[in-house]
Amino acid sequence: MQIFHHVESVRAALKTERAAGKTIGFVPTMGNLHDAHIELVRIAQQHCDIAVVSIFVNPLQFGLNEDWDKYPRTFEADTAKLRAVDCNYLFYPDEKEIYPNGMAEQTRVIVPTMTDVLCGASRPGHFEGVTTVVSKLFNIIQPDVAVFGKKDFQQLAIIRRMVEDLCIPVEIIGGEIYRETDGLAMSSRNSFITQEERPKVNVLNRALNDAKSAIQAGDRDFFALEDTAKQTIVKAGFKVDYFNICNSKTLEPAANDDTNITILGAMYTAGARLIDNLTFTLSSEKK
Protein backbone atom coordinates (compact mmCIF):
# COMPACT_ATOMS: atom_id res chain seq x y z
CA MET A 1 0.00 0.00 0.00
CA GLN A 2 1.28 3.44 -0.96
CA ILE A 3 0.68 6.34 1.44
CA PHE A 4 0.40 9.95 0.29
CA HIS A 5 0.09 13.15 2.29
CA HIS A 6 -0.17 15.65 -0.54
CA VAL A 7 -2.76 16.36 -3.21
CA GLU A 8 -0.27 16.73 -6.05
CA SER A 9 1.48 13.42 -5.42
CA VAL A 10 -1.64 11.28 -5.00
CA ARG A 11 -3.10 12.83 -8.15
CA ALA A 12 0.05 11.98 -10.10
CA ALA A 13 0.02 8.38 -8.89
CA LEU A 14 -3.64 7.88 -9.75
CA LYS A 15 -3.19 9.55 -13.14
CA THR A 16 -0.70 6.80 -13.97
CA GLU A 17 -3.23 4.13 -12.93
CA ARG A 18 -5.92 5.68 -15.13
CA ALA A 19 -3.53 5.88 -18.06
CA ALA A 20 -3.11 2.12 -17.69
CA GLY A 21 -6.88 1.73 -18.04
CA LYS A 22 -7.58 0.99 -14.37
CA THR A 23 -10.72 2.10 -12.54
CA ILE A 24 -10.59 3.80 -9.14
CA GLY A 25 -12.76 2.95 -6.12
CA PHE A 26 -12.71 5.37 -3.19
CA VAL A 27 -13.64 5.08 0.49
CA PRO A 28 -13.42 8.35 2.45
CA THR A 29 -13.06 7.87 6.23
CA MET A 30 -12.04 9.69 9.39
CA GLY A 31 -9.91 6.75 10.51
CA ASN A 32 -10.25 4.62 13.65
CA LEU A 33 -11.14 1.87 11.21
CA HIS A 34 -13.24 -1.15 12.18
CA ASP A 35 -14.76 -4.09 10.31
CA ALA A 36 -17.49 -1.95 8.76
CA HIS A 37 -14.90 0.32 7.14
CA ILE A 38 -12.96 -2.66 5.85
CA GLU A 39 -16.13 -4.05 4.30
CA LEU A 40 -16.50 -0.77 2.38
CA VAL A 41 -12.96 -1.23 1.07
CA ARG A 42 -13.86 -4.73 -0.09
CA ILE A 43 -16.90 -3.35 -1.92
CA ALA A 44 -14.66 -0.81 -3.68
CA GLN A 45 -12.32 -3.64 -4.66
CA GLN A 46 -15.22 -5.65 -6.07
CA HIS A 47 -16.19 -2.78 -8.36
CA CYS A 48 -12.82 -1.33 -9.34
CA ASP A 49 -9.22 -2.22 -10.10
CA ILE A 50 -7.69 0.17 -7.55
CA ALA A 51 -8.91 0.87 -4.01
CA VAL A 52 -8.14 4.24 -2.42
CA VAL A 53 -8.94 5.12 1.20
CA SER A 54 -8.62 8.57 2.74
CA ILE A 55 -8.22 9.30 6.45
CA PHE A 56 -8.99 12.86 7.47
CA VAL A 57 -10.72 13.95 10.66
CA ASN A 58 -12.54 16.86 9.09
CA PRO A 59 -12.86 19.81 11.49
CA LEU A 60 -15.36 21.54 9.22
CA GLN A 61 -18.08 19.00 10.05
CA PHE A 62 -17.70 19.26 13.83
CA GLY A 63 -19.67 21.91 15.70
CA LEU A 64 -18.96 23.71 18.94
CA ASN A 65 -18.68 21.40 21.94
CA GLU A 66 -18.41 18.35 19.68
CA ASP A 67 -15.70 15.73 19.91
CA TRP A 68 -13.21 16.66 17.17
CA ASP A 69 -10.30 16.83 19.61
CA LYS A 70 -11.33 13.55 21.25
CA TYR A 71 -12.05 11.68 18.03
CA PRO A 72 -9.80 8.58 18.05
CA ARG A 73 -6.67 8.82 15.90
CA THR A 74 -5.32 5.30 15.34
CA PHE A 75 -3.12 5.64 12.27
CA GLU A 76 -0.81 2.68 12.89
CA ALA A 77 -3.68 0.28 13.52
CA ASP A 78 -5.58 1.70 10.54
CA THR A 79 -2.70 1.19 8.13
CA ALA A 80 -2.24 -2.40 9.35
CA LYS A 81 -5.90 -3.17 8.65
CA LEU A 82 -5.73 -1.61 5.19
CA ARG A 83 -2.58 -3.51 4.28
CA ALA A 84 -4.22 -6.74 5.45
CA VAL A 85 -6.94 -6.33 2.79
CA ASP A 86 -4.53 -5.18 0.06
CA CYS A 87 -5.72 -1.59 -0.15
CA ASN A 88 -3.68 0.10 -2.90
CA TYR A 89 -3.51 3.73 -1.78
CA LEU A 90 -4.01 5.67 1.44
CA PHE A 91 -4.43 9.44 1.25
CA TYR A 92 -3.61 10.91 4.66
CA PRO A 93 -3.53 14.71 4.44
CA ASP A 94 -3.29 17.25 7.24
CA GLU A 95 -5.67 20.16 7.71
CA LYS A 96 -3.52 22.63 5.79
CA GLU A 97 -3.41 20.32 2.78
CA ILE A 98 -7.22 20.17 2.62
CA TYR A 99 -7.87 23.78 3.67
CA PRO A 100 -4.80 25.69 2.39
CA ASN A 101 -6.52 29.05 2.83
CA GLY A 102 -7.98 28.19 6.23
CA MET A 103 -11.46 26.99 7.05
CA ALA A 104 -12.87 30.50 7.46
CA GLU A 105 -11.99 31.29 3.83
CA GLN A 106 -12.97 27.89 2.43
CA THR A 107 -15.48 27.81 -0.42
CA ARG A 108 -18.46 25.77 0.78
CA VAL A 109 -20.62 23.20 -0.98
CA ILE A 110 -24.18 23.28 0.35
CA VAL A 111 -26.99 20.87 -0.43
CA PRO A 112 -30.15 22.82 0.45
CA THR A 113 -32.41 19.80 0.95
CA MET A 114 -32.34 17.13 3.68
CA THR A 115 -29.65 18.95 5.69
CA ASP A 116 -31.67 20.72 8.40
CA VAL A 117 -33.53 17.68 9.73
CA LEU A 118 -32.53 14.59 11.72
CA CYS A 119 -28.76 14.82 12.37
CA GLY A 120 -28.68 18.23 10.71
CA ALA A 121 -31.15 19.66 13.23
CA SER A 122 -28.96 18.82 16.21
CA ARG A 123 -25.65 19.43 14.41
CA PRO A 124 -26.01 22.76 12.52
CA GLY A 125 -23.46 23.09 9.75
CA HIS A 126 -22.43 19.44 9.97
CA PHE A 127 -23.53 18.43 6.50
CA GLU A 128 -22.10 21.59 4.96
CA GLY A 129 -18.76 20.37 6.29
CA VAL A 130 -19.39 16.88 4.95
CA THR A 131 -20.39 17.93 1.43
CA THR A 132 -17.56 20.45 1.23
CA VAL A 133 -14.85 17.96 2.16
CA VAL A 134 -16.34 15.11 0.12
CA SER A 135 -16.52 17.30 -2.98
CA LYS A 136 -12.87 18.26 -2.43
CA LEU A 137 -11.87 14.62 -2.00
CA PHE A 138 -13.78 13.68 -5.16
CA ASN A 139 -11.85 16.38 -7.05
CA ILE A 140 -8.55 15.12 -5.65
CA ILE A 141 -9.07 11.36 -6.14
CA GLN A 142 -11.43 11.54 -9.15
CA PRO A 143 -12.87 8.08 -8.47
CA ASP A 144 -15.12 6.06 -10.72
CA VAL A 145 -16.92 4.65 -7.66
CA ALA A 146 -17.20 5.91 -4.07
CA VAL A 147 -18.51 3.77 -1.23
CA PHE A 148 -20.29 5.08 1.89
CA GLY A 149 -21.87 3.16 4.74
CA LYS A 150 -25.64 3.07 5.05
CA LYS A 151 -25.36 3.60 8.81
CA ASP A 152 -25.04 7.30 7.96
CA PHE A 153 -28.16 7.10 5.81
CA GLN A 154 -28.82 10.85 5.77
CA GLN A 155 -25.24 11.53 4.73
CA LEU A 156 -25.50 8.96 1.95
CA ALA A 157 -28.72 10.54 0.65
CA ILE A 158 -27.22 14.04 0.73
CA ILE A 159 -24.05 12.96 -1.08
CA ARG A 160 -26.13 11.26 -3.77
CA ARG A 161 -28.07 14.50 -4.22
CA MET A 162 -24.85 16.54 -4.36
CA VAL A 163 -23.41 14.24 -7.03
CA GLU A 164 -26.61 14.48 -9.05
CA ASP A 165 -26.92 18.25 -8.73
CA LEU A 166 -23.26 18.99 -9.55
CA CYS A 167 -22.98 16.35 -12.32
CA ILE A 168 -20.00 14.73 -10.61
CA PRO A 169 -19.00 11.64 -12.62
CA VAL A 170 -18.85 9.15 -9.75
CA GLU A 171 -21.09 6.21 -8.92
CA ILE A 172 -22.16 6.21 -5.26
CA ILE A 173 -22.57 2.78 -3.62
CA GLY A 174 -24.05 2.26 -0.16
CA GLY A 175 -22.51 -0.45 2.00
CA GLU A 176 -24.82 -2.35 4.35
CA ILE A 177 -24.69 -1.63 8.08
CA TYR A 178 -22.15 -3.82 9.87
CA ARG A 179 -23.39 -4.86 13.31
CA GLU A 180 -22.23 -6.39 16.55
CA THR A 181 -23.89 -9.68 17.58
CA ASP A 182 -26.51 -7.82 19.64
CA GLY A 183 -27.47 -5.53 16.75
CA LEU A 184 -25.44 -2.45 17.71
CA ALA A 185 -24.23 -0.70 14.56
CA MET A 186 -20.45 -0.54 14.39
CA SER A 187 -19.11 2.97 14.85
CA SER A 188 -15.87 4.66 15.79
CA ARG A 189 -17.78 6.35 18.60
CA ASN A 190 -18.69 3.00 20.19
CA SER A 191 -15.37 3.24 22.03
CA PHE A 192 -16.94 6.00 24.14
CA ILE A 193 -19.67 3.67 25.47
CA THR A 194 -19.10 2.72 29.11
CA GLN A 195 -19.11 -0.87 30.35
CA GLU A 196 -22.29 -0.15 32.30
CA GLU A 197 -24.05 1.19 29.19
CA ARG A 198 -22.88 -1.47 26.74
CA PRO A 199 -25.51 -4.15 27.55
CA LYS A 200 -28.31 -1.60 27.04
CA VAL A 201 -27.26 0.43 23.99
CA ASN A 202 -28.85 -2.00 21.54
CA VAL A 203 -32.17 -0.47 22.65
CA LEU A 204 -31.92 1.86 19.65
CA ASN A 205 -31.77 -1.03 17.21
CA ARG A 206 -34.57 -2.86 19.06
CA ALA A 207 -36.77 0.24 18.87
CA LEU A 208 -36.14 0.50 15.12
CA ASN A 209 -37.07 -3.14 14.59
CA ASP A 210 -40.19 -2.87 16.77
CA ALA A 211 -41.41 0.11 14.73
CA LYS A 212 -40.63 -1.70 11.49
CA SER A 213 -42.60 -4.78 12.61
CA ALA A 214 -45.59 -2.63 13.58
CA ILE A 215 -45.59 -0.85 10.22
CA GLN A 216 -45.29 -4.11 8.32
CA ALA A 217 -48.26 -5.40 10.33
CA GLY A 218 -50.35 -2.48 9.10
CA ASP A 219 -49.90 0.22 11.75
CA ARG A 220 -49.78 3.65 10.09
CA ASP A 221 -49.93 5.83 13.20
CA PHE A 222 -46.36 6.90 12.65
CA PHE A 223 -46.35 9.63 15.31
CA ALA A 224 -47.53 7.17 17.96
CA LEU A 225 -44.89 4.65 16.89
CA GLU A 226 -42.21 7.34 17.14
CA ASP A 227 -43.39 8.31 20.62
CA THR A 228 -43.37 4.68 21.78
CA ALA A 229 -39.81 4.23 20.50
CA LYS A 230 -38.64 7.39 22.25
CA GLN A 231 -40.17 6.25 25.53
CA THR A 232 -38.45 2.87 25.18
CA ILE A 233 -35.06 4.55 24.72
CA VAL A 234 -35.59 6.91 27.66
CA LYS A 235 -36.64 4.02 29.93
CA ALA A 236 -33.35 2.31 29.08
CA GLY A 237 -31.52 5.33 30.48
CA PHE A 238 -30.55 7.25 27.35
CA LYS A 239 -31.42 10.65 25.89
CA VAL A 240 -33.23 10.69 22.54
CA ASP A 241 -31.96 13.00 19.82
CA TYR A 242 -34.57 11.95 17.26
CA PHE A 243 -36.60 8.96 16.11
CA ASN A 244 -38.31 9.53 12.77
CA ILE A 245 -40.19 7.43 10.23
CA CYS A 246 -39.38 8.90 6.82
CA ASN A 247 -39.77 8.60 3.09
CA SER A 248 -36.54 6.88 2.04
CA LYS A 249 -35.76 9.25 -0.83
CA THR A 250 -36.74 12.65 0.54
CA LEU A 251 -36.32 12.00 4.30
CA GLU A 252 -39.58 13.88 4.81
CA PRO A 253 -42.05 12.40 7.33
CA ALA A 254 -43.54 9.27 5.81
CA ALA A 255 -47.04 9.50 4.39
CA ASN A 256 -49.58 6.73 4.88
CA ASP A 257 -49.27 5.64 1.27
CA ASP A 258 -45.44 5.66 1.10
CA THR A 259 -43.99 2.25 0.33
CA ASN A 260 -40.27 3.00 0.65
CA ILE A 261 -39.67 3.67 4.33
CA THR A 262 -36.57 4.46 6.37
CA ILE A 263 -36.72 4.69 10.15
CA LEU A 264 -33.86 6.72 11.59
CA GLY A 265 -32.88 7.15 15.21
CA ALA A 266 -30.17 8.85 17.25
CA MET A 267 -29.54 8.80 20.99
CA TYR A 268 -26.97 9.98 23.49
CA THR A 269 -25.06 7.84 25.94
CA ALA A 270 -22.90 9.48 28.60
CA GLY A 271 -20.06 9.93 26.12
CA ALA A 272 -21.32 9.09 22.65
CA ARG A 273 -23.97 9.99 20.13
CA LEU A 274 -25.18 6.82 18.39
CA ILE A 275 -27.17 6.63 15.15
CA ASP A 276 -28.90 3.77 13.36
CA ASN A 277 -31.57 3.17 10.73
CA LEU A 278 -33.63 0.54 8.94
CA THR A 279 -34.89 0.73 5.37
CA PHE A 280 -37.63 -1.47 3.93
CA THR A 281 -40.26 -1.59 1.20
CA LEU A 282 -43.94 -2.19 1.80
CA SER A 283 -46.09 -4.01 -0.70
CA SER A 284 -48.70 -1.85 -2.38
CA GLU A 285 -51.48 -3.89 -0.78
CA LYS A 286 -50.53 -2.52 2.65
CA LYS A 287 -50.94 1.13 1.79
At 107-149, the pLDDT tens digits run: 999 999 899 999 999 888 899 999 999 999 999 999 999 999 9
The pTM of this model reads 0.92
Active site residues per annotation: 37
Q: Which one of 1.10.3720.10, 3.30.1300.10, 2.40.30.20, 3.40.50.720 gives the CATH number of domain 188-277?
A: 3.30.1300.10
Any idea where the domains of the chain sit in the sequence? 2-175, 188-277
C-beta of residue 246 within 8 angstroms of C-beta of residue 261: yes
Please tell me the distance from the alpha carbon of residue 121 to that of residue 250, in angstroms, as a whole number.
Answer: 16
Q: What distance, in Å, lies between the first and last C-alpha atoms of the chain? A: 51
List the chain pLDDT tens, one digit each, 287 residues.
999 999 999 999 999 999 999 999 999 999 999 999 999 999 999 999 999 999 999 999 987 556 677 788 899 999 999 999 999 999 999 999 999 999 899 999 999 989 999 999 988 889 999 999 999 999 999 999 999 999 999 999 999 999 999 999 999 999 999 999 999 999 988 989 999 999 999 999 999 999 999 999 999 999 999 999 999 999 999 999 999 999 999 999 999 999 999 999 999 999 999 999 999 999 865 44
Tell which CATH architecture fits domain 2-175: 3-Layer(aba) Sandwich (3.40)
